[in-house]
Amino acid sequence: MKRISLTQHLIEQQRLHNSIPAELRLLIEVVGRACKTISHAVGKGALGEVLGSADSENVQGEVQKKLDIISNEILLEANEWGGHLAAMASEEMESIHPIPNRYPQGEYMLLFDPLDGSSNIDVNVSIGTIFSVLKAPDGMKSPTEQDFMQSGRKQVAAGYAVYGPQTMLVLTTGNGVHCFTLDREMGSWVLTQRDMQIPAETKEFAINASNARHWHPPVTRYVNEMLAGSAGPRQKDFNMRWIASMVADVHRILNRGGIFMYPADAREPDKPGKLRLMYEANPMAFIVEQAGGAATDGKQAIMDIQPEKLHQRVPVFLGSKSEVELVTRYHQE
């Protein structure tokens, strides 16, 4: 089988669909390089003295792991100087990160969760990086948070890297979803899956069941129907899978179907869910829709939400289309 590199794939996609200008291709390549560097740091683990807590909190009030901070720095440094970006935003930083004046400004803006699934770092379970690319608004001089307030439909690219037994990069630029595996000896991303499609029918669901007592009625109803198995209204037996790393859970769903849920619940009524719209829900929704699935907040498509703030949170239901439509219908009823 002829091996196709990330660069070759992006150039061929540009020729086919005219959707990946050179600037965007170079930006995606830089993000891919940064993910290789993060993968190397993750792979070293205790040997690289990167495990454990950094004894600091991020803007969300979450305790940061050393690898959270390292990954954030890797992405910032890799992307600052290339001239493809006007600004970046990260889950780990309170406000946006404009490109320093000493570097040329580009026409794109990058959002990322540098290391998703932090609770899994120290126990050697798959974690990942999620990213989203937006176009800078026309005529933008000095970027502000407001410039990032674009709905998910405006994304020009989105992807994630998953650092597991293999390191993989899953990417969409709006023409299907493609998966690359890192050849660790050669240091190159190699195309290993084209046009990934989420299976329409599924018997798997992912949710943190320890929160069941706090769920709102539509979620309780939906999950109870699945738990009732073949004797219940769904007339089939379901399995539950929960890795507590969104990247790993979504990667499984892309490959074998299922639904991932992180609903809002009754614990903090003013907090609409836990996952961040701009650098978790939107990029994953883009990937899932491109792979034939669906992603909603229980009421509307995630990518139709008009963002109001950088660190906005949303409930998330994504995966196999029929399942997402069913749980969304229960919310609407």
Beta carbons within 10 angstroms of residue 209's beta carbon:
12
Residue 118 marked in a binding site: yes
Is residue 75 within 8 A of residue 66, CB to CB? The reply is no
Structure tokens at 74: 């890797």
Is residue 89 within 8 A of residue 75, CB to CB? The reply is no
Residue 119 marked in a binding site: yes
Residue 10 marked in a binding site: no
Residue 117 marked in a binding site: yes
Identity of residue 243: I
For the chain, first and last CA: distance in Å? Answer: 51
Angstrom distance (rounded) from CA 330 to CA 325: 9
Is residue 158 within 8 A of residue 132, CB to CB? The reply is yes
Residue 91 marked in a binding site: yes
Structure tokens at 92: 């780990």
Residue 208 marked in a binding site: yes
Residue 107 marked in a binding site: no
Beta carbons within 10 angstroms of residue 246's beta carbon:
24
Residue 325 marked in a binding site: no
Residue 29 marked in a binding site: no
Residue with tokens 């290993």: 192
Residue 280 marked in a binding site: yes
Residue 82, sorted as left (phi over 0), alpha (psi -120 to 50) or beta, turns out to be alpha
Instruction: List the binding residues for Mg(2+).
Output: 91, 113, 115-116, 280
Annotated binding site: 91, 113, 115-119, 208, 274, 280
Binding-site residues from annotation for substrate: 116-119, 208, 274
